[in-house]
């Protein structure tokens, strides 16, 4: 039987899975992606991880250890810098070592992704991984190219170029569900890491809840990179965190160009980068908007009831201020 590689459906999987799938596929390596986060997965994570670690990393432990039981290898790259000069979170720098420190750790594939390691840093990392499965270097390089292509396509598909150009009233017909209703259509920007806001279990289904109410939701990944980078220049200091730069840039962009009615900042407890960036985003939303902003802190004890109440209140607030702005 061919060897299997497990891909934990957590953390940076949400950003890079298109590339990982394409890469292993072309090499003929079978991949197993872990199931959606569930109580079971979380419990495995809670048991194996340190109590002080942030929620998504606890969840990651759950996915990785669960896969360890089912696959030959678990794929946990050490993602250090994907853009020169800006880091990911410290947790991603230590992730493979953290998983290795548990009792009975799975066998881990952990290439280092650090663009400071030369012009071909990522290709070299791909070669290192590929050689575990084949001697055909040309095939690995091809797999790497396909992976990058898949990633770029995935990222492009997520971008919604024309968000700001869509007159908010026209949205009604686009998203439906609001016909005949006097309430204005709302658009809310969700600031936060993809692995938190896109994971329904971690985020208590936040995005779907909003959509069910006929609210349009946008996330940082919908904002074109050019606009993110431009808006991020307003930050009090050049951001040395890549993913947080994206969150901050997207939020600044939403505020500056008044393209959302409100922002919900989703922070996992205890997240170092977000707790820092949050200060800047909140200040900016207040001074440059003002755009109403609500922060939601999530941990393993977060309860649905609390979230629902706060969401209701926030949506009511946005609705009212929109109505009064429209002179209703």
Partner 1 sequence: MAKPSERVITIPRMGTLQLMLEDMFARLDVKYIMPPPSTAKTLEVGVRHSPEFSCLPLKVTLGNFIEAIEAGADTCLMAGGCGPCRFGYYAQVQKEITKDLGYDVDWIVLEPPKKGFISFLRTFKKMAPHRSIRYIWRQVLISFEKARHYDSIEKRLLHNRAYELEVGASEKAYTEAIDILRPAVSKEEIAELAEVALKHMDESVAMDKTKDVLKVGIVGEFFMLLEPVVNFDIEKWLGERGVMVDRAVYTTDWIAPSLANQVGGLSKEEVSKYADKYLSHTVGGDGQQTIAHTVLYVEEGFDGIVHLMPFTCMPETIAKSILPKVSKDLDIPLLTLVVDEQTGKAGFITRLEAMLDMMWARRAAKAGHDDWIPAGAGTH
The footprint of partner 1 (CB under 8 A) covers: 49-50, 52-53, 78, 80, 85-91, 93-94, 97-98, 101-102, 112, 236-237, 240-241, 267, 269-273, 275-276, 278-280, 283, 297
Q: At its nearest, how many Å lie between partner 1 and the CB of residue 280?
A: 7
Q: Closer to ligand SF4 by CB, 126 or 268: give it.
A: 268
H helix or E strand, kind and range, residue 266: strand 262-268
Q: At its nearest, how many Å lie between partner 1 and the CB of residue 101?
A: 4
Specify the 3-state DSSP secondary structure of 270.
Answer: coil
Strands 78-83 and 112-114: parallel
Q: Closer to partner 1 by CB, 177 or 283: give it.
A: 283
Rounded distance between C-alpha atoms, residue 188 and residue 199, angstroms: 18
Which whole-number Å values give the CA distances from 98 to 79, 82, 187, 225, in the listed order?
Answer: 14, 21, 39, 32
Q: Closer to partner 1 by CB, 85 or 118: give it.
A: 85
Instruction: Tell me if 146 sits within 8 A of 23, measured CB to CB.
Output: yes
Angle, helices 13-26/137-158, rounded to nearest 10 degrees: 150
Q: Closer to ligand SF4 by CB, 178 or 302: give it.
A: 302
Rounded distance between C-alpha atoms, residue 245 and residue 239, angstroms: 6
- The partner in contact with residue 193, picked from partner 1, ligand SF4, none with C-beta cut-offs of 5 to 8 angstroms by kind, is ligand SF4
Nearest of 39, 46, 44, 49 to residue 68 by alpha carbon: 44
- The partner in contact with residue 268, picked from partner 1, ligand SF4, none with C-beta cut-offs of 5 to 8 angstroms by kind, is ligand SF4
Residue with tokens 């030369």: 118
- The partner in contact with residue 34, picked from ligand SF4, partner 1, none with C-beta cut-offs of 5 to 8 angstroms by kind, is none
Q: At its nearest, how many Å lie between ligand SF4 and the CB of residue 218?
A: 21
Q: At its nearest, how many Å lie between partner 1 and the CB of residue 55?
A: 12
Q: Closer to ligand SF4 by CB, 151 or 271: give it.
A: 271
Q: At its nearest, how many Å lie between ligand SF4 and the CB of residue 140?
A: 29
Instruction: Tell me if 73 sits within 8 A of 47, measured CB to CB.
Output: no
Q: Closer to partner 1 by CB, 93 or 159: give it.
A: 93
Rounded distance between C-alpha atoms, residue 116 and residue 209, angstroms: 41
Q: At its nearest, how many Å lie between ligand SF4 and the CB of residue 89?
A: 3
- The partner in contact with residue 180, picked from ligand SF4, partner 1, none with C-beta cut-offs of 5 to 8 angstroms by kind, is none
């Amino acid at each position: 039987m061919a060897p299997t590689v497990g891909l934990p459906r957590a953390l940076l999987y949400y950003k890079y899975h298109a590339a990982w799938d394409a890469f292993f596929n072309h090499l003929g390596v079978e991949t197993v992606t872990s199931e959606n986060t569930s109580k079971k997965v979380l419990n495995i994570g809670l048991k194996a991880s340190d109590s002080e670690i942030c929620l998504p990393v606890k969840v990651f432990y759950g996915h990785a250890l669960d896969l360890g039981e089912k696959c030959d290898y678990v794929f946990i790259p050490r993602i250090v810098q994907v853009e020169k000069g800006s880091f990911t979170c410290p947790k991603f720098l230590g992730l493979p070592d953290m998983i290795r420190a548990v009792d009975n750790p799975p066998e881990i594939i952990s290439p280092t992704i650090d663009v400071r390691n030369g012009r071909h840093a990522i290709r070299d990392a791909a070669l290192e991984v590929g050689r575990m499965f084949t001697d055909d270097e040309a095939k690995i390089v091809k797999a790497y190219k396909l992976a990058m292509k898949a990633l770029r396509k995935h990222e492009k598909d997520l971008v919604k170029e024309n968000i700001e150009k869509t007159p908010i009233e026209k949205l009604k017909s686009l998203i439906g569900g609001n016909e005949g209703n006097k309430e204005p259509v709302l658009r809310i920007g969700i600031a936060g890491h993809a692995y938190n806001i896109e994971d329904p279990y971690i985020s208590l289904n936040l995005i779907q809840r909003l959509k069910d109410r006929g609210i349009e939701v946008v996330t940082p990944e919908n904002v074109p990179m050019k606009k993110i980078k431009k808006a991020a220049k307003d930050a009090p200091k050049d951001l040395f965190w890549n993913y947080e730069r994206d969150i901050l840039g997207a939020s600044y962009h939403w505020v500056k160009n008044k393209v959302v009615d409100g922002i919900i900042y989703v922070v996992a407890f205890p997240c170092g980068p977000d707790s820092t960036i949050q200060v800047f985003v909140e200040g900016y939303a207040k001074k440059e908007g003002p755009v109403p902003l609500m922060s939601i802190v999530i941990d393993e004890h977060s309860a649905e009831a609390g979230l629902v109440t706060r969401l209701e209140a926030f949506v009511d607030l946005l609705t009212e201020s929109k109505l009064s702005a429209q002179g209703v």
